[in-house]
Amino acid sequence: MFNILFSLFISFFKIGLFGFGGGYAMISLIQNELKLHGWLSLEEFVNIIAIAEMTPGPIAINSGTYVGFKVSGLAGSIVATIAVVVPSFILVLLLAHFYDRVRGSDYIIRLLLYLRPILIALVFAAAISVARTSIIDFKSIMILLAALFLLHRTRIHPVMIIILAGVSGVFLYG
C-alpha cells in the first residue's frame, strides 16, 4: 500500500515538474508514466482525456485523481492529485516571490523559445499515440475527419463536438 502510494507520488510529481505548457503537452508525459507502471491501458487513458475535456479542470489534475483512485482508492487519488500540484506550487511561489527581479528576464524568454517546438512535438506525439488505439476502422476515420472539419470551419464548442462524436458512436457501432 505504502509502496504504491509512494510510486504514485513520484510519478505524478515528475509529471508536474516537467509538464511545461500544460494541457495537451502534458499528455505524452502522463502516458509515459502510465505505460511504465502499467496502471492504465491506453484506451482507458484516452477515455480520461475525453472526460477531462467534458468536465472542468486541467487534464493533469483529472488524470491524477482518476489514476490514483483506480490504483489505490481515495488515498491514491489524494496523493496523486497533490503530487502533480507540488512542483508548480514550489516553483510558482519562487517566481511570485522574486517576481520583480525575474520579470522580463532574457533567459526566460529564450527558454520559452527553445521549449515551444518541443512542446508542439509532444502534442503531436500524443495525437499519434491516441490515434494508434482510436483510429481503427473506416468509421473512426470518418469521425476524426468530421471533428477536424467542425473544429476548423465552425465555432462549435469542443464539448459539443465530443457529445456529437459519442452519439455517432452509439449509432455507428451499436
Partner 1 sequence: MQKKAAKLVKLFTIFFRIGLFTFGGGFAMIPLIRREFVDKQGWIDEERFIDAISVTQTVPGAVAINLSIFFGYRLLGLAGAFTAAFAVALPSFLIILGIAAFFNNFSGHPLIDNIFRGIRPAIVALILYGGYQLSKSVKWTGSLVMTTVLALMAVSLLNISPVIIIFIVLLVSFISHLLRAGRIVLDEDRQKPVKEGQDV
Q: Which of residues 109-128 bind partner 1 (CB under 8 A)?
A: 110-112, 114-128
Q: How many Cβ atoms are within 10 Å of 168's Cβ, its own excluded?
A: 15
CB of residue 34 vs partner 1: minimum separation in angstroms?
Answer: 12
Residue 74 found at the interface with partner 1 (CB under 8 A):
yes
DSSP the chain: -HHHHHHHHHHHHHHHHH-TT-GGGGHHHHHHHHHHHT-S-HHHHHHHHHHHHHSSS-HHHHHHHHHHHHHHHHHHHHHHHHHHHHHHHHHHHHHHHTHHHHTT-HHHHHHHHHHHHHHHHHHHHHHHHHHHHH--SHHHHHHHHHHHHHHHHS---HHHHHHHHHHHHHHHH-
Residue 41 found at the interface with partner 1 (CB under 8 A):
no
**Closer residue to partner 1 (CB): 6 or 128:** 128
**Closer residue to partner 1 (CB): 3 or 55:** 55
Q: Which residue has the cell 519562487?
A: 94
Residue 10 found at the interface with partner 1 (CB under 8 A):
no
Residue 38 found at the interface with partner 1 (CB under 8 A):
no
Residue 75 found at the interface with partner 1 (CB under 8 A):
no
Binding residue for partner 1, selected from 55, 101, 138, 153, defined by CB under 8 A:
55
Binding residue for partner 1, selected from 4, 32, 37, 75, defined by CB under 8 A:
32
Binding residue for partner 1, selected from 1, 2, 56, 138, defined by CB under 8 A:
56
CB of residue 2 vs partner 1: minimum separation in angstroms?
Answer: 21
Residue 77 found at the interface with partner 1 (CB under 8 A):
yes
